[in-house]
Amino acid sequence: MATRELYWNIAGHVFMYAFVVVFIAIFAYGVYRRYRMWRVGRPDERFRDFWRWRTLWQRKKTVLVDGLAQVRFFRDAYPGIMHFAMFWGFIVLFAGTVVVAGQADLGIRMLFGTFYLIFSITLDLFGVLAIIGILMAIWRRYVTRPSRLDNNWDDAVILWGLLAVLITGYLLQGLRIAATNDPWVAWEPVGNLVARLMLAAGATIGGMELWHRIFWWFHMFAGAGFVAYLPYSKLFHMFASPANQFLRTLGPAGVLSKVDIENSESFGVSKVEEFTWKQLFETDACTRCGRCQDYCPANLSGKHLSPKALIQDLKTHLWEVGPALVRRPQTGAAAEAAATATKATPCKAMVGEVFKDDDIWACTTCRACDEQCPVYVEHVDMIVDMRRYLALMEMRFPPEVDRAFRNIQNQSNPWGLGAGYRADWAADLGVKKLSDGEPVDVLYWVGCAGAYDDRNKKVATAFVKVLQAAGVNFGILGTEEKCCGDTARRLGNEYLFQMLAQENVEVIKGHGVKKVVTTCPHCFNTLKNEYPQFGADFEVVHHSEFIAQLLAQGKLDLNGQGGQAADGPGAADGQGKLSGTVTYHDSCYLGRYNDVYAQPREIVKGALADGGKFVEMDRNHGKSFCCGAGGGRMWLEESHGKRINEMRVDQAVETKAETVVTACPFCMTMFTDGVKAKELTEKVKLMDLAEVVAGRLKAE
């Protein structure tokens, strides 16, 4: 009898080990399949210096903060708590399983003494934590059903399957405790509760032994099965998401890649294999959580574009065409024949069918999607890559885009007004021009809006008065200044952008400029973060930062009694002070792109009159709502859904603010149009930070 039992034990162990090996092989093959799909993409030049130690520490820090501590997940409380509970519950349970397997199967003795007791209660409590997280997910996905979530069979298999694994684990523990009368049950409170319930129900020792065998095999099969299932399901993000956090783009946010115009035969992306391997990898890192969609102004205003759908549709398309690309020879006549056959095979065009042109042009490049993504998926880069294809290869774009391109090319500004009039706004202000040869400490980069748009000329004038009041030795380029190229680049015309960038950098460096200040966040971001791709080596600051520095240095007096209020409806009281309730709108290119949030608020609060009140809109800082002008949308009409700028005006009106302060000429234009459309011109006043400060300057 003993010999037969020994044989059964040996056979059971052999079967179990063979079973585990098979499941590991299934898991490995699944990972390999995904790896081959990533390799379809082209190399990513951003990772040339990947292994430098200074970047490695930054990457590890990202995984620690956003991977292990889950900081980005907690930006939304309920899903943050839910994910934290599931994540750490399974991390601890997996580690515990490895320890138990090491002792039971490899003879590595660790579970004894105090460590065993602490180990027992830790696994018990973290198992409960995991169950709580799963129940929260089930409730959210199938009861409250927020619009940003979509459900498929994979979600159900994962949630209910993992719940079954956890529950059978506790049943096993309860059966063992009840059958053995374990003296250390106080260190396994959940298992002890299950054991007491079983004994109260009249369970017998023989019955419990039978059920223990049944649940043990089920638990092992289910647990190992889920491990094997990981690379074939959404659960693979458990590996891909931390890896994508580690591989995140470092440095300034949202900087677009530089295209080698001279040596490239094609531009942009029209086929899946023209994306980089990192962009294809991001399709597996995406968890379909929908946070990006919840903050996308295009989607929220009723456009069809969804950042989440963008990534998931790319993933679907990759798996449709990827296998053929993987099998295709890379060189020789066979490769040419395979490429010809691929072209002849009917399949959806990625740009135009998988991704509709309207969706590609609907993006405002505000980076709300990138900012909210907990695993650092970069949606905007993919959209601009496809815009580059449409603009440079197909010349397929809305008529307004063509007009903007021609205006920039012919007159160096998207308004299309004469380039020779660029400095006319400053004719009576006594402003130096660098072309006159006088040395200056600071170059004021006016930007196209400040030079040509009537409303923003007033902002430029106010900023000049601020600089003069502070005694800053500054000048402008005048007619030597051209459009910075932000509009052209974000609309996909990399050729036009590079031409402008090279000319502007040459002019600025030719005058020996070391410091540039600008009132436009789009110019600020381009000059500061993207012009270094073309040899720029000068310091660039936004006027909100510069004014804050002048105030800190005591070079400006905001406590005077005779400043000039801004033109237009009374945005300030009779003494030039902000009065009433005031709110501030975060420009996307100042905030999310460059993390400038504190200085504008300090300036506004410092300029408030006695009794004035500063209030925040619900969507502020990193969650701010776009004005709708970014990504070249300043020049495009909104033909679908609500107007984004009017939605933002509504959000400002909800605060009961009488004055809205901006720090961006595009935002000023969009707010002005939105306020007019809402017939609120007499109720809501609009001011730029420069006007706020100019209105408080002490009279000479």
Give the residue-averaged pLDDT of 506-535. 97
pLDDT at 569: 37
pLDDT at 574: 36
Confidence of residue 7 (pLDDT cuts 50, 70, 90): low
Residues 344-374 have pLDDT tens digits of 455 789 999 999 999 999 999 999 999 999 9
Res 562 pLDDT > 50? no
**Taking the domain 10-246, which CATH number applies?**
1.20.950
How many angstroms separate the first and last alpha carbons of the chain? 109
- The 3-state secondary structure of 464-488, one letter per residue: HHHHHHCCCCEEECHHHCCCCCHHH
Give the residue-averaged pLDDT of 391-419. 95
Q: Rounded to an integer, what distance in angstroms lies between the CA atom of residue 445 and that of residue 91?
A: 52
Give the residue-averaged pLDDT of 130-140. 95
Asked whether 521 and 594 are in contact (CB, 8 A), the reply is yes
Asked whether 500 and 408 are in contact (CB, 8 A), the reply is yes
Q: Rounded to an integer, what distance in angstroms lies between the CA atom of residue 28 and that of residue 239?
A: 13
Confidence of residue 335 (pLDDT cuts 50, 70, 90): low
Confidence of residue 577 (pLDDT cuts 50, 70, 90): low
Backbone dihedral angles phi then psi of residue 582, each to the nearest 5 degrees: -125, 140
Residues 6+ apart with CB under 8 A from 66: 72, 73, 245, 374, 375, 376
Res 2 pLDDT > 60? no
Residues 222-253 have pLDDT tens digits of 888 888 899 999 989 999 999 999 999 888 99
Residues 44-71 have pLDDT tens digits of 877 766 555 567 888 889 999 999 999 9
Higher pLDDT, 147 or 559: 147
Res 143 pLDDT > 50? yes
Asked whether 311 and 291 are in contact (CB, 8 A), the reply is no
Residues 66-76 have pLDDT tens digits of 999 999 999 98
Asked whether 574 and 609 are in contact (CB, 8 A), the reply is no
3-class secondary structure, 73: helix
Give the residue-averaged pLDDT of 179-200. 81
- The 3-state secondary structure of 255-311, one letter per residue: CCCCCCCCCCCCCCCCCHHHCEHHHHHHHHHCCCCCHHHHHCHHHHCCCCCCHHHHH
pLDDT at 49: 62
Give the residue-averaged pLDDT of 301-310. 96
Q: Which of 435, 427, 506 has its CA nearest to residue 464?
A: 427
Count how many Cα atoms sit within 13 Å of the Cα of residue 574 in the half-sphere of its side chain: 0
Torsion from C-alpha of 603, 609, 613, 618, nearest 10 degrees: -30
Q: What's CA 304's distance to the chain center, in Å?
A: 19
**Based on the number of CB atoms within 10 Å of its own CB, is 378 exposed (0-12), middle (13-18) or buried (19 or more)?**
buried
Res 8 pLDDT > 50? yes
Domain ranges of the chain: 10-246, 272-397, 401-694
Q: Rounded to an integer, what distance in angstroms lies between the CA atom of residue 533 and that of residue 657?
A: 42
Q: Which of 326, 329, 330, 324 has its CA nearest to residue 347?
A: 324
Q: Rounded to an integer, what distance in angstroms lies between the CA atom of residue 329 and that of residue 336?
A: 8
The CA distances from residue 137 to 82, 163, 283, in Å, are: 7, 11, 22
The CA distances from residue 84 to 66, 89, 239, in Å, are: 11, 8, 16
pLDDT at 514: 95
Q: Rounded to an integer, what distance in angstroms lies between the CA atom of residue 375 and that of residue 397?
A: 32
Cα angle for residues 254, 255, 261 (degrees, 5° grid): 140
Backbone dihedral angles phi then psi of residue 520, each to the nearest 5 degrees: -110, 120
Cα angle for residues 502, 52, 258 (degrees, 5° grid): 20
pLDDT at 336: 57
Match 């009159």 to its residue by tokens. Answer: 609
Q: Rounded to an integer, what distance in angstroms lies between the CA atom of residue 407 and that of residue 414?
A: 5
| CATH 1.10.1060 at 272-397, yes or no | yes
Residues 611-663 have pLDDT tens digits of 889 999 999 999 999 999 999 999 999 989 999 999 999 999 999 999 999 99
Q: Which of 31, 89, 36, 375 has its CA nearest to residue 227?
A: 31
pTM, rounded to two decimals? 0.90
Higher pLDDT, 564 or 240: 240
Checking phi first, is residue 145 left (phi over 0); if not, alpha (psi -120 to 50) or beta? left
Lowest mean pLDDT among 106-120, 512-526, 669-683: 106-120
Lowest mean pLDDT among 4-18, 240-254, 284-298, 326-340: 326-340
